[in-house]
Amino acid sequence: MESVNKCGCPPGSGIGCAAGGGQSKDALIRRLGDMRNEMLRFALDCRGAALGEIDPAYARSAENLLHYLALRRHDLREIQSELAELGLSSLGRSESHVMATIESVLKTLCRVADCPPDVSEDMTTLDFKSAKRLLEEHTERLLGPVPEGRNVYIMVTMPSDAADNYALVRGLLDSGMNCMRINCAHDDPEKWTRMIGNLRRAQEETGKPCKIIMDLPGPKLRTGPLRPGPCVIKYRPVRDEYGRVRKPAKILLRAEDAPAPEDRNAYDAVLTVSGEWLKKIHLGGMIRFIDARGSRRSMRITSWTEEGFQADAVRTAYLTLETLLRLKKRDGLGEWRTNVTGIEPQENFVTVSTGDTLLLTGSSEPGCPAERDADEKVTSPAVISCTIPEILGDVNAGDPVWFDDGKIGGVVEEKTGDGLIIRIAHTSSETAKLGSDKGINLPESKLDLPAITPEDVSILEFVVEHADIVGMSFANTPEDVRSLLAHIKRIGKGEPGIVLKIETRRGFSNLPAMLLEAMKSPSCGVMIARG
């Protein structure tokens, strides 16, 4: 039978006690002492395998993580209730200094039980002040100096415009941006270089620090293409609450060989027409046509610029490639005619509502909206494909599926030969639109996908050379982290920090082991991805 000291503390627990203390306190001291010793043994057993290559800056943090993992093996609810009844810490905020918290509680508990503690002189733990200091040091090493006046950092994802819009980047830095995020799933190295150049220029002019994080694309699990939408252009004027025209629609008529307008958003519609026909236009002229709905419409020429003629319209119109524009000749005898050309198909999408079904396929065929009968009842569900069809075999009935950064969510109802039948359970609005190239997240499915893709490897050299931090998308296993660190070491152009993006339940479950791998890097962090 295991022997105990007078107060119930196990021998060798590091706590010497005189007689005293009630039975409940004795038992509580004994249980806490057992847990403390187990934490020490667990950290000691793991030290060779788990802590062997840890960066020295993280050595004590890694050991603290092992202590925490050992502690969380236990159901602490009963102990926490007993500690709370005694007015002691319930261990609920012990994460950053686990052993120090246990020792502090044990010391206090022994004093309450009238058994003075005797902590071993050679016992070194991460105490409360050291833990706070280390957390601050690790944060600053990864993200830079703490911003003045606040204790949070602001990260901003760069749009494509940031490559050529210095004022945008400068404005973001002036407004408090601490970290520029470049999503390598978009744009290319040329644009990334210009984004970084704009930031460096802004930093030189302002003297403000800002880190650069570049997220690797990872496996691009996205929705596939959809059937093209109709080739139609719509414009409409701005009206007030009473339906009166407050601002006419502004239309640009340009020749087929003319350059694209500098600011497409300056116009409600851009119509491409024959250059010869355009030469017949005169200021004040009225262009008439019958639109796609059979409605008679017109627009009046108001001005000319190097981009083409500008016209105003006071009624909504829909134009297609068959729309015939008519301009009366100045002598009133006859008219000049031309068709609108170059209308691109509209981006298509499928619409879903809560309760609908959606078929997710691995087919190369473009997706399509749901088919409905005369009563608007769905006769065939909407269909959309995914860009990595082989993952469909890894998904099971009951698994949740999220689309477009969580805007649409559902549950796999059935696996068929055609794909996955998904019952929609969440939409961001009553009827949600799902287009092509939107993210798909399967947070609880165990997908057989590498976190580092060949595309990631091809751009990693640029990222390591230019970024302060490498963001790893879909980090799921310790092997994923080891692979990233091995590639960074092979490139040999620096040691950027790394951020693990946790996007699946599997990644969350493996987070402790991944953190121990990440701490082999000089600086690391974790991002819980929203998708």
Q: What integer is the mean pLDDT of 196-211?
A: 97
**87-146 pLDDT, tens per residue?**
887 787 888 888 888 888 888 888 877 776 655 444 556 778 888 999 999 999 999 999
Q: Residue 74 above 80 pLDDT?
A: yes
Percentage with pLDDT > 90 across the chain: 61
Q: Residue 6 above 50 pLDDT?
A: no
Among 41-55, 166-180, 393-407, which stretch is predicted with the lowest mean pLDDT?
41-55
**235-248 pLDDT, tens per residue?**
999 999 999 999 99
The band of 23, judged by pLDDT with boundaries at 50, 70 and 90, is low
pLDDT at residue number 122: 40
Tokens of 465: 């050379």
Among 18-22, 23-27, 487-491, which stretch is predicted with the lowest mean pLDDT?
18-22
Q: What integer is the mean pLDDT of 419-430?
A: 94
pLDDT at residue number 116: 65
Q: CA torsion angle for 222, 223, 225, 230 (degrees, to 10)?
A: -130
pLDDT at residue number 10: 47
d(CA 20, CA 5): 11
User: To which residue do tokens 């309450």 refer?
Assistant: 112
pLDDT at residue number 19: 33
More confident residue, 363 or 125: 363
Q: Which has the closest alpha carbon to 413: 426, 434, 396, 388?
A: 396
Q: Which CATH class is domain 141-220+449-528?
A: alpha beta
Per DSSP, the residues of 162-219 read: GGT-HHHHHHHHHTT--EEEEETTSS-HHHHHHHHHHHHHHHHHH----EEEEE---S
Q: Which has the closest alpha carbon to 361: 372, 345, 350?
A: 350
Q: Which has the closest alpha carbon to 313: 274, 268, 271?
A: 268
Q: Residue 20 above 50 pLDDT?
A: no
Q: Residue 389 above 70 pLDDT?
A: yes
Could you tell me the CATH superfamily of domain 350-441? PK beta-barrel domain-like (2.40.33.10)
Q: Give residue 214's identity as a one-letter amino acid code.
A: M
Beta bridge partners, 384, equal: 360
Percentage with pLDDT > 70 across the chain: 93
List C-alpha distances in Å: 396 to 393, 403, 432: 8, 17, 25
More confident residue, 203 or 110: 203
Q: Residue 417 above 50 pLDDT?
A: yes
Q: Residue 11 above 80 pLDDT?
A: no
More confident residue, 493 or 47: 493
Q: Where are the domains of the chain?
A: 23-130, 141-220+449-528, 233-339, 350-441
Q: Which has the closest alpha carbon to 295: 243, 253, 234?
A: 234
Give me the phi and psi of 188, to 5 degrees please. -155, 170
State the chain's mean pLDDT as an integer. Answer: 89
pLDDT at residue number 50: 65
SS3 383: strand
Q: What integer is the mean pLDDT of 16-42?
A: 72
pLDDT at residue number 89: 76
User: To which residue do tokens 């206090």 refer?
Assistant: 108
**299-358 pLDDT, tens per residue?**
999 999 989 999 999 999 999 999 999 999 877 788 999 999 989 898 889 999 999 999
List C-alpha distances in Å: 237 to 245, 248, 326, 412, 518: 6, 5, 21, 44, 56
The band of 5, judged by pLDDT with boundaries at 50, 70 and 90, is very low
Q: Residue 258 above 50 pLDDT?
A: yes
Report the sign of the C-alpha dihedral through residues 77, 79, 82, 86, in that order. negative
Instruction: Using alpha carbons only, give the angle 401, 403, 409 rounded to the nearest 5 degrees.
Output: 50
Could you say which of 3.30.70, 2.40.33, 1.10.760, 1.10.3470 is the CATH number of the domain covering 233-339? 2.40.33
pLDDT at residue number 31: 87
141-220+449-528 and 350-441 have identical folds: no
